[in-house]
Amino acid sequence: MNFVKRAWLNLWARKGRSALLILVTAAIMLFVLAGLLLRSAANTAVANAKSSVGATLTLSANREAAFKKMREQMEDQSQDSDSDSKTTPTRPSLTMTPVKLSDAEKIAKLSGIESYNVSVSTSANASGFDAIETSTGTSIMQGGGGFGGKGGFEDNSGDITISGVSSTAGATAFSDGTNTITKGRGLTSDDIGTINVVVETELAKQNDLAVGDTIKLKSLKTDDAAAKSYTVTIVGIYKAKSSSTAQMGPGASDPANTIFTSYSFANTLKGSDAKNTADSVIFTVSTPSKVDSVQKAAKKLINTSKFSIDSNDASYQMVKASMSSVTSFADKIVWLVAIAGTIILALIVILMIRERRFEIGVLLALGERRGKIIAQFFCELLVVLLVAIGLSSAGGQFVGDKLGEQVVASAQTSTTSNSQGGFTRGGGQAPSGEQGQGAPSGQMPGNMGGRTSSQAAMQKQAKLSTRITLKDVGLLTVFGLAIILIAITAGAAGILRLQPKKVLIGS
Amino acid sequence: MLETKDLSYWYTNKDDYLFKDLDLTFDAGISYAIVGESGTGKTTLISLLAGLDKPRAGKILFRGEDIQASGLSNFRRHHVSIVFQAYNLFTYMSALENLMTALSITHSSHNGDRQYAMQMLSKLGLTEEQMKQNVQRLSGGQQRRVAIARAMVCDAPLVVADEPTGNLDEANSDEVMALFNQLAHDQGKCVIIVTHDAAGAAKCDAVLRLKHRELTWQKQPPVPAMVD
Ligand SMILES: Nc1ncnc2c1ncn2[C@@H]1O[C@H](COP(=O)(O)OP(=O)(O)O)[C@@H](O)[C@H]1O
Ligand SMILES: [Mg+2]
């Protein structure tokens, strides 16, 4: 009849009390488990986001270095003007070197790079057909946006946006679902060097264009080149998501005016200097976890003072940011419940020890070691804990699911309302006529799109991962053990101080 | 077997002592009764003898060694069986389990021997059914017998009891006292019983009376039958 057996006899003989103790412990464990599940769901969502959206590297001009250079020029000039005040300082220029395709090809050969997509943006003027005029609603916003209307753009910007790509399927605008090919075909690597283009369905409708038709595009005249006219062939028609039109910021041109061409043709439109260059090249890394090492290797191949290669983890950061609130909430749940549970169980243990003073007194009178009496209480709580963990694991799935849905939903509502709030402020200023006060730029629709899709992914992932794993149960057991250990320690003082004489003799 | 040397005890105030400089000897095979008015310090004295409390002054020797030397808990575990008026049994156990627990804690030579424990209980008049049901379902007299049986199964050579016949009718009291005498005479244990039952005390081999801070032999102990 050692202490383990005594513990068991005691639990068995006092079934009602044991059942109550199990219920209380199960309730505490249930909340801890819910917190743990929520936490791991959030962590999984972040990890998934990393593997699903973090797998690209973007090669582009090093803006930071370019700006730094410009600042240095300005400083040099101010020093020069001290010594020779008569020279009129030339305006410092921001020169950003376009990416060389040969560099891109070198990087593409690195192991770990699956594919790459070149993108060149420029603009051109429609010739013989009309670009989409902005709608009344948008023109109000444009007017208020402080961009000076269309007139301001005319010298350096055409009415058609040219997006040169390696292939439309590989371009972000298509891969993220914003644009879809509806007629004909998209551009592929076979179209490099050709004059094949893909136009938007609204533009096609307005100008009565169909697959196989040709249109004329005029390049913009520059200081050293006159405008040239090019005849291009429409091989496909795409549809842009109408929502992005609605989400357009002021000052951005209608997305329907975007014509996709091969990057080589876009370079042709840009001018002879642009041959074999790109604005940016996006590399797809086959294994997301290798992004960092591939990035390091790529850096060695390029002139980092002129170019930068960044891992594109904006979406990942977004998911991470919105999940970090879930994580911290889950952390708080876990700790609050653990602390509250510890206090509750400690009080129960203290009460239990007081209630069982006589039993303890008899044990002490028989000469039982105090440590073994404490061990008996620990065993009793351990059995209670194990049953409680079993119960809460069974119930935890349900609670975890519900809580996960709730929290993910509220996280979404808050991020959505934040972004919408920001947007409404920008648009809302328009009627008042205030100008240029941080109005959202043309980047807005892209960001919005990214956020919406990552939220969808996030919800799906959070839902998927509120499954109870062995690891969760293990962690729960660790928490439970810690809780009963602390509770027993708190109660043990009562056992250690207990004088058998006082108990047995009473007064 | 058990000796007190200059044993003194007081609760709050040294001048307000219950007893002072006691020199007593208790021998094996003899039953001792301690009698006296309520509040004279009988329970206090027997707690000291049982190793439940420490003397204020003086010491208690068991087989010539101070009982505090190797720890009171150790002393209780190996050398004393205590029978108190109440709260003596584990209420969540059967009579048999109570005995088994005691055998285990005291590291008895009969540890784990259910047959032995059952023999002892049936000797004290419990049926097999009664042994295996929860002790709280037994009568007061039966519970008392279980407590005594527990003292009997253990190897401890010293048995102390505080008012073991309290709340018992005369017939039951006589039976309990007879059992204690058996423990002393048949098993050669040293039995010390506090009681205010004069008839019960008279059945013991020796009687000590505690009165006005004085302890006197009301009935002198016989020459020890057995020396350990
Ligand atoms: N814990 C205590 N603190 C202070 N005084 C006590 C305590 N226990 C007992 N006493 C006092 O000591 C005296 C002896 O008590 P006790 O040994 O129980 O006597 P008896 O058992 O002979 O009735 C009583 O006067 C009692 O009030
Ligand atoms: Mg008393």
Name the more confident of B23 and A320: B23
CB contact under 8 A, A505 and B43: yes
Handedness of CA B67, B69, B70, B71 (dihedral sign): positive
Q: For residue range B99-139, list pLDDT tens digits in order.
A: 999 999 999 999 999 999 999 999 888 999 999 999 999 98
Nearest Cα of chain B lies from the Cα of A23 at a distance, in angstroms, of 21
Tell me the pLDDT band of A156, cut-offs 50, 70 and 90: low
pLDDT at residue B31 in the model: 95
Nearest Cα of chain A lies from the Cα of B223 at a distance, in angstroms, of 30
Domain that holds residue B139: 2-219
pLDDT at residue A102 in the model: 87
Name the more confident of A221 and A250: A221
Residue at B224 is within a domain: no
pLDDT at residue A90 in the model: 62
Identify the weakest region by mean pLDDT among A148-162, A189-203, A299-313. Answer: A148-162
Phi, psi of B216 (to 5 degrees): -130, 150
Quick check: A396 and A333 in contact, CB under 8 A? no
Residue at B225 is within a domain: no
Ligand 1 binding pocket includes B215 (Cβ within 6 Å)? no
Return the ∠ at Cα B53 (arms to A493 and A488), rounded to 5°: 15
Please give the single-letter amino acid code of residue A481: L
Bridge-partner residues for A231, per DSSP? A216
Relative to beta strand A179-184, strand A229-240 is: antiparallel
Ligand 1 binding pocket includes B148 (Cβ within 6 Å)? no
Question: Which atom of ligand 1 is nearest to B41's Cα?
Answer: 17
Question: Which atom of ligand 1 is nearest to B36's Cα?
Answer: 22
Q: For residue range A384-425, list pLDDT tens digits in order.
A: 999 999 999 888 777 767 766 766 665 555 444 444 333 333
Q: For residue A265, which of A219, A224, A214 has the smallest C-alpha distance? A: A219
Map tokens 């990552």 to a residue.
A454
Asked if the model's pLDDT at residue A460 lies above 70, the reply is: no
Identify all chain A residues contacting B52, using CB atoms and an 8 Å cutoff. 365, 499-501, 504
Beta strands in A94-150 (DSSP E): 99-100, 113-127
pLDDT at residue B184 in the model: 92
Ligand 1 binding pocket includes B209 (Cβ within 6 Å)? no
pLDDT at residue B102 in the model: 92
pLDDT at residue B225 in the model: 54
Using alpha carbons, list the distances in angstroms from residue A315 to A48, A58, A308, A362: 11, 14, 19, 67
Domains of chain A by residue range: 3-54+319-504, 58-77+95-312
CB contact under 8 A, B90 and A499: no
Relative to beta strand A160-165, strand A113-127 is: antiparallel
B87 CA from centroid of ligand 2 (Å): 14
- How confident is the model over A54-73, as a mean pLDDT? 79
Using alpha carbons, list the distances in angstroms from residue A446 to A81, A247, A505: 44, 9, 82
Quick check: A454 and A53 in contact, CB under 8 A? yes
Average predicted confidence (pLDDT) for chain B: 89
CB contact under 8 A, A499 and B88: no
Q: For residue B48, which of B32, B78, B68 has the smallest C-alpha distance? A: B68
Asked if the model's pLDDT at residue A92 lies above 60, the reply is: yes
- Provide the Cα torsion A65, A71, A72, A78; round to 10°: 170
% pLDDT > 70, chain A: 73
pLDDT at residue A292 in the model: 79
Average predicted confidence (pLDDT) for chain A: 76
Maximum pairwise Cα distance, chain A: 113
Handedness of CA A160, A161, A167, A172 (dihedral sign): negative
% pLDDT > 70, chain B: 96
Distance, in Å, from the CA atom of B48 to the CA atom of B110, rounded to the nearest integer, reads: 27
Name the more confident of A398 and A137: A398
Residue at B12 is within a domain: yes
Quick check: A157 and A251 in contact, CB under 8 A? no
DSSP, residue by residue, A58-97: EEEE-HHHHHHHHHHHHHHHHHHHHH-TTSPPPPP----P
Residue at B227 is within a domain: no
Identify the weakest region by mean pLDDT among A8-17, A312-321, B44-53, B114-123. Answer: A312-321
Q: H helices within A159-279, ranges in order?
A: 172-175, 201-207, 242-246, 263-270
Q: For residue A134, which of A195, A80, A35, A202 has the smallest C-alpha distance? A: A202
Asked if the model's pLDDT at residue A441 lies above 70, the reply is: no
Residue at B228 is within a domain: no
Supply A308's token pair: 């930068």
Please give the single-letter amino acid code of residue A221: K
* Maximum mean pLDDT: which of A139-143, A199-203, A447-451, B141-145: A199-203
pLDDT at residue B56 in the model: 94
Asked if the model's pLDDT at residue A213 lies above 80, the reply is: yes
- How confident is the model over A430-459, as a mean pLDDT? 37
Residue at B105 is within a domain: yes
pLDDT at residue A59 in the model: 87
Q: For residue range A161-175, list pLDDT tens digits in order.
A: 999 999 998 888 888
pLDDT at residue A449 in the model: 35
Asked if the model's pLDDT at residue A149 lies above 50, the reply is: no
- How confident is the model over B40-64, as a mean pLDDT? 93
What pTM value is reported for the model?
0.64
What is the Rg, in whole angstroms, of the alpha carbon atoms belonging to chain B?
17
Tell me the pLDDT band of A9, cut-offs 50, 70 and 90: very high
How many helices (H) and strands (E) chain A has is answered by: 16, 12
pLDDT at residue A330 in the model: 79
Identify the weakest region by mean pLDDT among A445-459, A466-480, B61-75. Answer: A445-459
CB contact under 8 A, B76 and A365: yes
Map tokens 């207990």 to a residue.
A498
What is the ipTM, given to two decimal places? 0.90
Residue at B78 is within a domain: yes
Identify all chain A residues contacting B162, using CB atoms and an 8 Å cutoff. 505
DSSP, residue by residue, A228-261: -EEEEEEEEEEEE-HHHHHTPPTTPPPGGGEEEE
- How confident is the model over B201-221, as a mean pLDDT? 90
Identify the weakest region by mean pLDDT among A256-260, A444-448, B149-153. Answer: A444-448
Into how many domains does chain B fold? Answer: 1
Name the more confident of A454 and A121: A121
